[in-house]
Amino acid sequence: MNKSAILHIPMSQYAYGTDEDHVTIRLRTAKDDIKRCWLHFGDRACRLTPVIFTEAEMHVVASCELFDYYEVKLVHPYKRLCYYFRLESETEETYYYGDCFSAKLVDDRSEYYQLPFNHRADIVRPPDWAKDAVIYNIFPDSFATGKTYISGRPTKSTFEGNVVRGKLGGCLKGITENVDYLKKLGVNAEILKFDIKNREECAKALSDKLYYGVVLNAGIARDNVFPLLEGDEWDDVIQTNLTGFYNVLKPLVMPMISNRIKGRIITMSSVSALSGNRGQINYSASKAGIIGATRSLALELAKRGITVNCIAPGVIETDMIKDVPIDEVKKLIPMKRLGQAKEVASLANYLMSEGAAYITGQVISVNGGLYL
C-alpha cells in the first residue's frame, strides 16, 4: 500500500457539507492501489465511550494519471462528526485517522478526524448558472500575442484604440483570436465583443442573454485640469463610464425580472467619486453618477430579490495608474501600499454569493483607508 499518496484534509474540499442534511467525504489514494475503502463515522458529541460508529463504503468517483479519488455522501449525518477510514489493499488492511496509519484503533475520539459542526453558514451554494459553466482563467499578458503564439517580450501596442502593455507580450487581441482554441478545451463561457458606448451594439450583443450576475467594470480615464479639458475627453469618459451603465444593464435587467432570477448586479465607482480629485472632473462626475444610478436601481429591483451594489476602489495597481507618482500617493494611503486587483475581485465574489442576498444599494470602498 502506497501510504505516501493517501491524503485527507478535514474541513476542506475533502470534507464539507453540501447542504444542512448532507456531508461529502473524500479520500485520495495512489492509482489502482486500494482494493476497498470504508468510512466509519459517529457522533462527536456522543456520551458513550467508545463512540458508536456507522460504516459506509466509499467508491472511486474520479481518477488521474497518479491518483484515485474515493467519495461517499452521507445523508442526515450527525451535526458534529468524528470519523476514520479503513483501507484494504492486496497485501494489508489499515486504519487511517489523524494523519496516522494503524493496525488498530484507539478509544480516544479526539484522535479521529473531525467535522466540528455542519453549519449552514459554512455551506457553499453555487448559483444554478455556475453548475454547468466551464471557466478558463486567462492572464492576458501570458496567454497569447496573436494566433496561437506568445512573443515573450514586453509590448506596447494599440488594439481597437486601447493601448495594451504587457511584460510577456500577451494582449486582448491574443484572446479574441483564439476563441476556437478555448472552445476546444471545453470552455463554454462566452466572449462578447461590443462597444459599450454604442447602444445598438450593446442591445444586439446582450438582448437574448440571461445572466445571474453582472459586474459593470468598464471604465476609462482622460485626466486634465478643467480649463484644458477638451470636449471629446469629457464625452469619452461620460459615455464609457456612465452611459455604459444604461447601455449594458438595460437589455439584461428585464430578462432577470421575467425569469424570476434573484440575481446580482455590481458596478464600479471610485474614491474620486466620493471626494473628488484634481484633474479628474470628468472621471469623478461619471463615477459619482454610477453611485446615484446604483442606489436608484437597487430600490427598483429590491422587491424582485435582485441586489445592486457598488464597489469604490482606491488606488489599485493597474495600467490606469501608470502615470501616477506612486511614492507620493502611498504617503496619502494609511496602509502605505497600493491595492491589488484580487482584493477588489474578492469583494465582488462575495457580493455575487448567496451570503450577500440581503445587501443592496451599498457603496463599499476598497481603498486602504484613503479618502482624498
CA 263 to chain centre: 15
> 3-state SS string over the chain?
CCHHHCECCCCECCEEEEECCEEEEEEEEECCCCCEEEEEEEECCCCCCCCCEEEEEEEEEEECCCEEEEEEEEECCCCCEEEEEEEECCCCEEEEECCEEECCCCCCHHHCEEECCCCHHHCCCCCHHHHCCCCCCCCHHHHCCECCECCCCCEEEEECCEEEEECCCCCHHHHHCCHHHHHHCCCCCCCCCCCCCCHHHHHHHHCCCCCCEEEECCCCCCCCCHHHCCHHHHHHHHHHHHHHHHHHHHHHHHHHHHCCCCCEEEEECCHHHHHCCCCCHHHHHHHHHHHHHHHHHHHHHHHHCCEEEEEEECCECCHHHCCCCHHHHHHHCCCCCCECHHHHHHHHHHHCCHHHCCCCCCEEEECCCCCC
Instruction: Match 450527525 to its residue by C-alpha cell.
Output: 78
User: Which among 78, 95, 112, 283 is annotated as catalytic?
Assistant: 283
Distance CA 310, CA 339 (A): 17
CB contact at 8 A, 286 and 241 = yes
- CA 59 to CA 47: how far, in whole Å? 31
Is 283 an annotated catalytic residue?
yes
Three cell numbers, residue 23:
456531508
Active site residues: 283
